Amino acid sequence: MMPRPVLTCPALLCLILAACAADDGYPDLRPTAEMLTPPQLTPEENAPATTRQTAESRADALRARADALRGPVIEPELRQRMQGGRN
């Protein structure tokens, strides 16, 4: 006997459709022209010194995140336990 497909159950199908129809947290769609328009910056925001400072601070933050991720993925204690269980 062949198993019945799950989607033949009407209650399950209604539940799936209801979940897909909910718009909780779904972003509003914007016209492409609006998305491609450059942002309107004030002269202070567009000043080379401000732009450079913003870029440097973001780069410093990314370098700090990269430094935090360097190092062993497996802690030394866990590595030792793993090697001990191998024997």
pLDDT per residue over 26-82, tens digit each?
777 889 998 899 888 888 888 888 889 999 999 999 999 999 998 888 888 898 888
**What pTM was estimated for this model as a whole?**
0.39
Q: Are 82 and 74 in contact (CB under 8 A)?
A: yes
**What does the pLDDT read at residue 46?**
80
Q: How far apart are CA 54 and CA 39, in angstroms?
A: 16
Give the pLDDT of residue 41.
Answer: 82
pLDDT at 35: 86
Residue with the larger pLDDT of the pair 3 and 55: 55
Q: Determine the pLDDT at residue 66.
A: 95
- 60: its two tokens: 């410093």
E strand or H helix that includes residue 80: helix 76-86
- Helix and strand element counts for the chain (H, E): 4, 0
Residues 6 or more apart whose CB falls under 8 angstroms from that of 6 comprise: 12
Neighbours of 50 (CB within 10 A): 14
